[in-house]
Amino acid sequence: MKLKITFLILIIITAIGCNCDKQNVRTEIKTQEFVEDEKQIRAIFDDELNKGKCYENLRTLCSGGSRLSGSKEAANAVQWGKNLLQSMNLDSVYLQDIMVPHWVRGEKEFAEIRFSNGKKEQTRICALGGSVGTPKDGITAEVIEVFGLEDLEKLGEEKIKGKIVFYNRPMKPTHINTFDAYGGCVDQRGGGASEAAKYGAVASLVRSMNLRLDNFPHTGGQGYKDTTQKIPTAAISTNGAEYLSKMLKEDAKLKFYLKMNCETLPDATSHNVIGEIKGSKYPDEVIVIGGHLDSWDAGTGAHDDGAGIVQSVEILNIFKSLGLKPERTIRCVMFMNEENGCRGAEKYAELAKANKNEKHLAAIESDRGGFAPRGFSVDGTDTVKNKCYTKIMSWRELFKPYGIHQFEQGFSGVDVSRLKDQDIALIGFIPDSQRYFDFHHADTDNFDGVNKRELELGAASIASLVYLLSKYGL
């Protein structure tokens, strides 16, 4: 009996040993792949930090001024993008024709607080995108301060009619992710004018979407409802909002004067700009990386979204520089008109859906500024989102040495989100968000506000993800 038990134990030990050997072989194979990918990603970062071109490309792009859709500067940026991609000896470079809105600010806005004792003080405002202008002699009216759209119904037409509604809900500072803070108050900007008009307001002012206190008003998109009167709407700086709020408590009958010269012109012709490297094994499987070429007319759109544009171009440049031949097609898309219409993204999605000869694997968007990289967010239909998230999580150790640790399921980007119904993995690049809203849609968003090293680290991070997606797919 003892001999039988001993023999059985030996068999079990032998079996365990064989299984361990097989497991070791599998681990060894995985480790070899990991080491290969680790070396390649290191090479990507080294190449970008030593020879990167995105910072100088951004300097050139921003030197052409702001790039509001429909403007001469936006048209110049399209030509700049096409010329840049053609200079890189890519497999193909082409334009996609679109029609875009053409709103113009006109002569600079003027505003002042007029106190009941006759004193006047100028304050800075900027018209929100798409706003109508004021009459030639401007608008003067009393001000009623509110802290959200829901306050309007409580006040009613009796207290609002004939006045300027002043939305003064600040971005909530306790949100660590500043985009959450932005989302918590941007409804005032987007729909505040039409909501105020429902109760007879003659204009609306919106506290700028900015966490810090400064004197720079931040513009941005807003939309009118067809069922209400279109009234002028403008942003006031955070310092200006604080001051106006304080003065209203001391002088409830003060008036606000504003003069705006903006107007909407007929739609204009523009383009998405596209360049690509064909995949060596799966040319019909496409990985898109893109940002938006247009910007608001405040500043020169360095962070929003010049950074995303030059990082997207840089992915192609890195692959070229290192002699990497992607297994799947890598396509850089410079989307036009994200800021006030998304016409470029809609056109791209329409054409992608109609093209039965290729399949989009993933679409990556960089549109959160040129700050230090932190990670990626994944979106899409439930099936592809979960699949992509699982795949990216399996690569997290490869990103750890570069401070990239934030991998989550969440919003990807405004432009690539138009592809959501096509079963494509949508990925948003996540840089550090703490300083983004110091610049967003303001005169401060210029080239000198972008850090060269942070911009390059972001480009290398995205290129590393594209390398892995191209090699392994989903």
Q: Is 397 a catalytic residue?
A: no
Beta pairing class for 282-292 and 359-365: parallel
Residues 32, 440: Cα–Cα separation, whole Å: 44
The DSSP-derived string for 38-84 is HHHHHHHHHHHHHH--HHHHHHHHHHT----TTSHHHHHHHHHHHHH
Residues 474, 280: Cα–Cα separation, whole Å: 17
In this structure, are residues 274 and 90 in contact, taking their beta carbons and an 8 Å threshold?
Answer: no
Amino acid identity for residue 59 in this structure: R
* Backbone phi and psi for residue 402, each to the nearest 5 degrees, phi listed first: -105, 15
Spatial CA neighbour of 239 closest among 265, 262, 266, 207: 207
**Helices marked H in 123-263 — which ranges?**
150-160, 178-183, 187-197, 238-250
Element (H, E) at 100: strand 92-104
Tokens 């940002």 label which residue?
Answer: 291
In this structure, are residues 290 and 333 in contact, taking their beta carbons and an 8 Å threshold?
Answer: yes
Residues 202, 33: Cα–Cα separation, whole Å: 65
Angle between helices 452-472 and 307-322 (to 10 degrees): 60
The DSSP-derived string for 297-317 is SSTT-IIIIIHHHHHHHHHHH
Tokens 């002012």 label which residue?
Answer: 205
Q: Which of the residues 338, 365, 454, 456 is marked catalytic? A: 338
* Backbone phi and psi for residue 344, each to the nearest 5 degrees, phi listed first: -65, -45
Angstrom distances, CA of residue 173 to CA of 3, 81, 280: 74, 37, 48
In this structure, are residues 460 and 407 in contact, taking their beta carbons and an 8 Å threshold?
Answer: no
**Coil, helix or strand for 110?**
strand
Query: Is the backbone peptide bond immediately before 305 cis, with ω within 30 degrees of 0?
Result: yes
Catalytic residue list: 338
